[in-house]
């Protein structure tokens, strides 16, 4: 059901993901300084590629009902990241489709558009 695929051997920095996903900043889904400390680099712990039916299935299983499709997808992806990494408190970064991250995302995005991205965690600060 979940489309987790093998992760690439090199982990992508979350700073790049945040720069790529304007909706994450616009909706303040993460604290502004999340994992931007120079001694920490975000770690990708899962990858997702959902079509609309898969998103609906996860939303239904998690009891997610929101006002619009974008909110439903966002809540579903957050729940998915928590499910696949229950002890790591992972957060989703959505790379596509374009309708998810566009300025009119609440009106334009549809669950049928699906969602592609990653679940990432910020490792703890190193001990001093």
Mean of all residue pLDDT scores within the chain? 76
SS3 content of the chain, % helix, strand, coil (to 5): 40, 15, 45
pLDDT digits (tens, 9 = 90+) for 90-109: 889 999 999 998 888 988 99
Radius of gyration for the chain, computed over Cα atoms and rounded to the nearest angstrom:
14
Give the closest residue to 4 by CA, choosing from 83, 89, 109, 105: 83
pLDDT of residue 29: 59
Spatial distance between the Cα atoms of 126 and 108, rounded to a whole number of angstroms = 42
pLDDT digits (tens, 9 = 90+) for 41-83: 788 999 999 999 999 999 999 999 888 999 999 999 999 999 9
Higher pLDDT, 99 or 32: 99
What is the average per-residue pLDDT within 106-118?
Answer: 93
Asked whether the beta carbons of 22 and 101 are under 8 A apart, the reply is yes
- Per the structure block, which two tokens stand in for 66? 């929101």
pLDDT at 106: 85
| 11 pLDDT above the threshold of 60 | no
pLDDT confidence bin for 17, thresholds 50/70/90: very low
DSSP state of 102: S
- Going edge to edge, which strands form the sheet with 43-50? 43-50, 115-121, 91-96
The pLDDT of residue 52 is 95
pLDDT at 93: 92
| Contact in structure between 19 and 42 (CB atoms under 8 Å) | no
């Amino acid at each position: 059901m979940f489309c987790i695929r093998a992760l690439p051997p090199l982990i992508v920095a979350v700073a790049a993901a945040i720069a790529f996903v304007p909706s994450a900043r616009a909706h303040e889904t993460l604290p502004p300084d999340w994992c931007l400390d120079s001694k920490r680099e975000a770690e990708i712990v899962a990858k997702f590629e959902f079509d609309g039916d898969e998103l609906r299935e996860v939303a239904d299983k998690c009891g997610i009902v929101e006002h619009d499709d974008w909110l439903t997808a966002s809540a579903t992806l957050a729940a998915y990241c928590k499910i696949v990494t229950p002890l790591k408190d992972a957060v989703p970064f959505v790379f596509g489709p374009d309708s998810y991250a566009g300025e009119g995302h609440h009106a334009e995005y549809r669950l049928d558009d699906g969602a592609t991205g990653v679940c990432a965690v910020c490792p703890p600060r190193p001990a001093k």
